[in-house]
Amino acid sequence: MLRGLSTVSYFATDLPAATDWYTRLLGVPPYYVVPDAYVEFRIGDYRHELGIVNSRYARHTPTGGAVVYWAVDDVRTTLTRLVDLGATIHEAPEDRGGAGYVTATVLDPFGNILGIMANPHYHEVLATMTTPAQESAPGHHAADPHPA
């Protein structure tokens, strides 16, 4: 039924500022842009989609929620970088059982919760796979339906 992460959407009242902030954080510009409405980045080992939506297009008021945790190699180093870029610590790093699983969350400058996680299982799975994303250069993916 659920086959994997497709797109994570964050919302921002100032889309140009959010685009700039996430471009600096991720080190790549968005590959898909709908002016004044939406931008989308492809990031990480699996080229997951991270979309930033102009808040005026939000179709719902959150009634519950989920936190998406992005895999990182070092939670504390990544947390420092996020804070240096203007994020606010939401949940400090926490060891989740002593087996190398560590999580933390921040609020980005636009009010979205961004989770980060050191996850040994992520690396175990990654080591068994070869994906097109691993074979392509950063910022380029041959299968992108919306080239930059």
Q: What is the pLDDT of residue 119?
A: 92
Tokens of 97: 């059982």
| Per-residue pLDDT tens digits for 23-56 | 999 999 999 999 999 999 999 998 999 999 999 8
- Mean pLDDT (the chain, rounded): 85
pLDDT at 5 over 90: no
Q: What is the pLDDT of residue 66?
A: 73
Measured CA to CA, the distance from residue 87 to residue 148 in angstroms comes to 27
DSSP per-residue letters across 12-81: ESSHHHHHHHHHHHHSS--SEEETTTEEEEEETTTTEEEEEEEGGG-----SS---PEEE-S-HHHHHHH
pLDDT category of residue 6 using cuts at 50, 70 and 90: confident
Contact (CB, 8 A) for 82 and 25: yes
pLDDT at 139 over 70: no
Average pLDDT over residues 89-116: 93
* Higher pLDDT pick, 116 / 59: 116
Q: What is the pLDDT of residue 131?
A: 61
Q: Which domains does the chain have, with CATH numbers?
A: 1-57 (3.10.180.10), 66-129 (3.10.180.10)
Sheet bearing 32-34, strands edge to edge: 7-12, 48-54, 38-43, 32-34
Contact (CB, 8 A) for 109 and 11: no
pTM of the model: 0.77
pLDDT category of residue 148 using cuts at 50, 70 and 90: very low
| Per-residue pLDDT tens digits for 56-95 | 888 776 656 678 999 999 999 999 999 999 999 999 999 9
